[in-house]
A = this chain, B = another copy of it.
Amino acid sequence: MRLRPNARILIRCPDQPGIVAAVSGFLAHWQANILTSQQHSTDPEGGYFFMRMVFDAGAIEEADRQRFEAAFAREVATPFAMDYSIKWPGPGPRMAIMVSKADHALLELLWRWRNGELLGSVELVVSNHEKARDVTQSFGVPFHCLPVTPDTKTEQETELSHLLASAEVDLLILARYMQVLSPAFVQRWHGRVVNIHHSFLPAFVGADPYRQAYERGVKLIGATAHFVTDELDAGPIIAQDVRPVSHREGVPALKRLGRELERSVLARAVEAVLDDAVMVHENRTVVFDR
């Protein structure tokens, strides 16, 4: 597993002069070299300001981190009314992946995780089918099958919540999981569920988007990774990509070609989320280049 190699401060606050000076002055005082820094303002006059600073925490001993955090809250965060988080070097988020029958997006994530490309760990895989059991277990990852029928849906979601809680999961990835989660569940996991939709949203919301794309005769097909919210396929978009198609491709060919897109778009989105590069503001994302 790959560890987060350095520390980060993530900030969201009303924009005003002096924010960068305050944060960077604080870090300089603690001898912490800024490695990369990205910022975004929705509007310098009365808008919101977003910042991701990656810094070398080497000069700050573990014993001093609590003191660092308290000082930051008092001296910087409070005066500027910041929403913020500080992340120290070490293990990244703990993920669960949910999947139905199509296992290509699951496999892509398991692969990248095994290759040390993800700043987080895959703790378990949950599916409403048995199909992905063998491949999941061959990566040494626990697999749970929770078949869903209209009658068992509530009960299975309770079981799912138990599984996620006992594995201390931080982030839930829907890698072509074809069931809709309940509003209550989505609410509880707000901002922590990433889904891959197999179209260029907002085109072709809902079921069978490749058939919809075929019927509309589009010349590009797409995939969209987004945070899940109450409204179907309408949450904040993290990543999107497309590829050209022509009159030659029928629905099965679109599905086959689309699989490659879905894999890479979901993996790109998950990598950005794990790297603390994605912030949400009014149903839109800020995705910092790293």
Contact = CB atoms under 8 A, between A and B. Distances in A.
Interface of A: 15-22, 24-25, 27-28, 31-41, 44, 56, 104, 107, 111, 115, 117, 138, 200-204, 215-220, 222, 236-242, 246-248, 256, 260, 264, 283-287, 289-290
Contacts of A20: 20, 24, 28, 34, 37
Q: Chain A's interface: helix, strand, loop or mixed, by majority?
A: mixed
Contacts of A19: 34
A241 B220 contact: yes
Contacts of A15: 33
8 contacts: A15-B33, A17-B27, A33-B44, A37-B37, A216-B237, A220-B240, A220-B241, A246-B289
Given A216-B237, A236-B217, A21 B25 contact: yes
A26 to B, nearest CB: 8
How many chain copies? 4
Most-contacted residue by chain B among A21, A39, A40 (CB, 10 A): A21
Given A33-B17, A237-B219, A247 B287 contact: yes
A240 B242 CA distance: 11
B25 A117 contact: no
B242 A220 contact: yes
B35 A44 contact: yes
Given A56-B44, A200-B200, A248-B289, A21 B17 contact: no
A246 B246 CA distance: 16
A248 B284 contact: no
A253 to B, nearest CB: 9
Contacts of A216: 201-202, 237
B35 A41 contact: yes
A242 B220 CA distance: 9
Contacts of A220: 200, 222, 240-242
A233 to B, nearest CB: 11
